Amino acid sequence: MPDYSFDREARTTNSEQWVIETPEHSIGRVDVHFTTSAAHATLAVHSSVTDDEIERLIAEIDERVVLSGDPYREDLIVTVWRGEEVGVFAEETAAESQDDMENGE
């Protein structure tokens, strides 16, 4: 069974975003949104992650992420997506882009 680590990337008053990694590489992400009666999660994992691993991951997400954020929730509802990472995209400001060009980056 893989040893998963969860690294939080973002947090708001009602949600959290985590990267999921094994000792070898990143295997996915989970976004958790807390409501008054349930936690709703979107789990996106790499195409190599099996159904059994997804079940174990959901159990770990419930225990290590959701219960630590909301121990009184009534339900955890998880939508799972399986595929491959295409990339991370972000907008640069014109000043950042100009600085990169001037620095030869």
Phi and psi, residue 5, nearest 5°: -125, 150
DSSP 104: T
Each domain of the chain, given as residue ranges in start order, spans: 5-102
Q: How confident is the model at residue 10 (pLDDT cuts 50, 70, 90)?
A: very high
pLDDT at 98 over 60: no
Q: Which helix (H) or strand (E) covers residue 57, if one does?
A: helix 51-60
Q: What is the mean pLDDT of residues 68-82?
A: 85
Check residue 93 and give its pLDDT: 64
Q: What is the mean pLDDT of residues 53-57?
A: 96
pTM over 0.75: yes
According to CATH, the topology of domain 5-102 is Aminopeptidase (3.40.630)
Give the model confidence (pLDDT) of 19-48 as tens digits: 999 999 999 999 999 988 899 999 999 999
Q: Give the pair of three-digit tokens for residue 30.
A: 């989970």
Calculate the alpha carbon distances from 40 to 1, 21, 58 in Å: 25, 21, 12
The SS3 of residue 20 is: strand
Please list, residue by residue across 32-70, b when 16 or more beta carbons sit within 10 angstroms of its beta carbon and e when fewer do.
bebeeeebebebbbeeebeeebbeebbebbbeebbeeeb
Q: How confident is the model at residue 79 (pLDDT cuts 50, 70, 90)?
A: very high
